[in-house]
Structure 1
Amino acid sequence: MTDMIQGSIVALITPFHEDGSVNFEKLKELVEWHIANKTDGILVLGTTGESSTMTHEEDDSVVACVIETVNKRVPVIVGAGSNNTATMLKKSIDYEKMGADQLLLISPYYNKTNEEGMILHFKTVADAVHIPIILYNIPGRTGCSISEHAVSVLSKHPNIKGIKEASGNMSYAMNISRYLNDDFVMYSGNDDIIVPMLSLGSSGVISVLANILPEQTHELVKKYLDGDTKGSLALQQQYLDLIHALFVEVNPIPVKEAMNQMGMNAGGYHLPLTEMSEDHKELIKQRLEEAGLL
């Protein structure tokens, strides 16, 4: 039986000071807030965590800070992905040694690969570590998808325990749902289709929304898993306009803007990410007010 997380896993932002350095005090504060507000697991160095714009040293420091602060109270998943398999392997081994509970590994972006290369990309790491691996399928960002055949092969590996499915393609999600079992789970990677993904057997969501609504995102999943599908759907629909606003520009620009408007001091961005347009800031404000968060 798997020990994989059921519920809401926050794709945690990385807070920055004005000079662009990591705000570790705020990072610790956010971790404590998430644990207090029923977040079921914490993902660091995901897309939302901006690791693609941070140095390897900054990545390592953020991981160390979160693992130490969480202190085994909830599982910590670390994004160790790269389009260079050797780099991904080194980071995965390092993060396992640092105390990561699980790893999130993205498909190889930019250089892409053929199907055999895709399988070997993940298998290389899965053969070398001893903690669960979650595959990350997000073709809108990477330019390539993990094929259904590759998922069927990789799902049989004893260390590959799940997939974050963020293509938004329900037909693809339906097809790979056939490989779900006690040892291979699926998480929605899209906040706007958490309930449809749960209906296919997903165990929860890796969520951007949870950065501002941790308890509500947890409840949305819990209601569904407890059999209250109508209650779950009502929550999904209640926050749909806010969810759409959080993706009006590339993630994590809007969610950090939302947090800053809420007084959560998430800070700015590392280039090439930068401030959003005034029109979009106003939209975020409007949606936060409608959701009762301002």
Structure 2
Amino acid sequence: MTTTAPDRFGGALCPTITPFADDEVSTAGLETLIEHVIEGGIEGLVPCGTTGEFASLSTTEYRTVIETTVDVADGRVPVMAGTAGTSVAGTVENIAFAAEAGADAALITLPYFHTANDEAGNEAFITAVADEAALPCYLYNIPSCTGAPIAPETVSTVAGHDSVVGLKDSGGDFTYFQDIVERTPADFQVYPGSDSLLAWGLLGGAAGGVCALSNVVPEAFAELVAAVERGDIETATDLQAGITALFQACVAHGFAPTAKAGLAVRGVLPEATVRPPLVELDGDARDAVETAIDDVLTAVEASA
């Protein structure tokens, strides 16, 4: 199936958390979050990714999150729906639902239980999904969850498919990121998924970034992107330093728990609830997150 890449994806994209209240998805909380990040300058939403705890959602909850995100965004920013699955059929079904809900693109991972016994299997999986996909597909390289990276050779090959239009790289290996940029066509959109690499990714040819902490301090990510675009590298690196300090909490405690703690600290959401096996941050960790947030926001004010 041939699809067309959306022209609007670029800049700071937010992989939105999924708010919970009384162990249910809070659509009111999700609406509050989306308004918060759009007002903060975020240029696209990525629901039901890793930070969105997609693997802890029921099918009904997953669909509620996608539909709510599209409805609240209301065309103001595009939506790249997380559609990961462990089978071709399941992934294609998720993409079909996201398309029906009004999403603009799909984010797909390699299977995260039965991993490929040969790299040819990963290419076959991506191609089979792309052949049936109802939306443009962005690959999601996250080897910590899938067991292995998507080989650069595989990315180069599938980048020639009409429906495979980009890649989010959460591997944290900047050499890999650069290799992907060099091996793929100019219109193949590559995004760093590691918050600590955003500035360097943008300088190295990234279309933007998909960064967990943009839930918490969207204005910092929007300003960093703007600084790079206007050639103000000093401001960009100052902001990157602050973001990287906050990112260390994500490395230590996990993306969803840290982002939710940060949102509670800022008063955006009342709860920082996560689902097992994730756990909330303790008091000392939350205090460290609060200090790091204050430092980032100070850097944003200094850049104004």
TM-score by length of 2: 0.90
In the TM superposition, what is the alpha-carbon distance from 1:46 to its structure 2 partner? 0.6
SS at match of 2:273: coil
Partner of 1:94: 97
Select 1:118's aligned residue among 122, 126, 129: 122
Instruction: State the superposition RMSD in angstroms.
Output: 1.8
CA contact (8 A) 2:217 2:293 kept: no
Assess if the C-alpha contact under 8 Å between 1:4 and 1:185 holds in 2.
no
Report if aligned partners of 1:166, 1:190 keep a CA contact under 8 Å in 2. Answer: yes
Aligned counterpart for 1:288 among listed residues 288, 293, 299 = 293
Pairwise CA distance, 1:4: 5.0
Pairwise mapping of residues 141-220 of structure 1 onto structure 2 (< 5 A)?
A: 141-220=145-224
- Kindly tell me: are residues 259 and 271 of structure 1, through their superposed partners in 2, closer, same or farther at Cα, counting changes over 3 Å? same
| 1:268 aligned onto 2:278 | no
- Aligned partner of 1:251 in structure 2 is 255
- Partner deviation per Cα, 1:193-216 (whole Å, 9 max, x = no partner): 111212221111101111111122
Alignment pair present for 1:39 and 2:30: no
SS in structure 1 at match of 2:20: coil
Partner of 1:128: 132
- Work out whether residues 48 and 54 of structure 2, in 8 Å CA contact, stay in contact via their aligned partners in 1: yes
In the other structure, the counterpart of 1:23 is 26
State the 1:85 CA deviation. Answer: 2.0
The total of aligned residue pairs comes to: 292
SS at match of 1:259: helix
Q: Which residue in the other structure is 1:57 paired with?
A: 60
- Is 282-291 or 187-196 further displaced after alignment? 282-291
2:106 alignment counterpart: 103
* Structure 2 unpaired stretches of 5+: 299-304
- Residue-by-residue CA offset, 1:226-283 (whole Å, 9 max, x unaligned): 3222321221123321222233212211111111122222440111112223332232
Alignment of 1:227-246 (within 5 A): 227-246=231-250
Aligned amino acid, residue 26 of structure 2: N
Q: Distance in 2 between matches of 1:288 and 1:199?
A: 24
- Match for residue 224 of structure 1? 228
CA contact (8 A) 1:247 1:254 kept: no
Query: 2:190, 2:207 within 8 Å by CA — same for their partners in 1?
Result: yes
Runs of 5+ consecutive residues of structure 1 not aligned to the other structure: none
Deviation at 1:289?
3.7
Rounded Cα–Cα distance in structure 1 between residues aligned with 2:80 and 2:292 = 30
Q: For the Cα contact (< 8 Å) 1:186–1:202, is it kept in 2?
A: yes
| Whole-angstrom distance in 2 between the partners of 1:292 and 1:228 | 18
* Distance in 1 between residues matched to 2:38 and 2:297, nearest whole Å: 22
Deviation of 1:81 (Å)? 0.7
TM-score after normalising by structure 1: 0.93
Task: State the AA in 1 paired with 2:109.
Answer: I
Counterpart code for 2:24: S
Partner SS state of residue 114, structure 2? coil
| Percent of paired sites with the same residue | 28
- After superposition, the C-alpha distances for 1:20-60 in whole angstroms (9 at most, x for unaligned) are 10111111122122222211000000100011111011000
Change (3 A) 1:118 1:45: same
